[in-house]
Structure 1
Amino acid sequence: MSEDPSLHQSHPDIIKRLKRADGHLKSVIEMIEAGRPCLDIAQQLHAVEKAIGQAKKTLIQDHLDHCLEDVVGPLPSDRRRTIDEFKEITKYL
């Protein structure tokens, strides 16, 4: 992996997800142009939305796991708990 600190181990997987979502979105556009049923289009849009949402969630979690840890550094366990709880609650975003 590059020495660029903004690159993370999860980024290649996120790129794959987003490229897949991009392909699905292009197919949604084609479906609309072809006059496909709204239910089919809505299902595909839902899949695109979920893929993008999961990519975002993965990116945020990875950022918290690595970048926040670099800034915070070692902490006593009583202060560490607050950071760990913060990271845990962000999984519900």
Structure 2
Amino acid sequence: MQEREQVHIHKRLDGTTYEHSHMDKENKGHNHNHRHTKAVINRLARASGHLESVRRMVEEGKDCSEVLIQLSAVIAALNNTGKVILKDHLEHCIVDAVESGDKEAIDNLNKAIDSFIK
């Protein structure tokens, strides 16, 4: 399969434009290269660090209430990160899917949302 980079420029309703690119493998799938990637990576790193702290709290026998509060903070951080990914996906991949008539990408989004929101 030959890969080729495709660059897309989109214009929002407010007039601002944004550009993104992905590698197209015979029009099936692509590498996500969005403007929020660095923010998502940073959020995941922070959540991972907080989860490690929760693990240490359990190992050290900290109060269950404190552990649950910290664990809920990790869960909230992950959920908020998921929201950033979802918004980015809607702004880029789903716009492309609608423009190209790619029903499979929309079906995949629906499956992902069902898994994310339980």
TM-score by length of 1: 0.72
Partner of 1:38: 64
CA RMSD of aligned residues (A): 2.1
- Segments of 4+ moved more than 6 angstroms: none
Aligned length: 75
Q: Deviations over 1:33-70 (max 9, x none)?
A: 00000011001100100000011111011101111111
Query: 5+ residue gaps in structure 1?
Result: 74-89
**What percent of counterpart residues are identical?**
38
Higher RCO (C-alpha under 8 Å, 6+ residues apart) = 1
1:7 maps onto 2:7 in alignment? no
SS of the equivalent of 1:9 reads: coil
Structure number with the higher helix fraction is 1
Structure number with the higher strand fraction is 2
Partner of 1:82: none
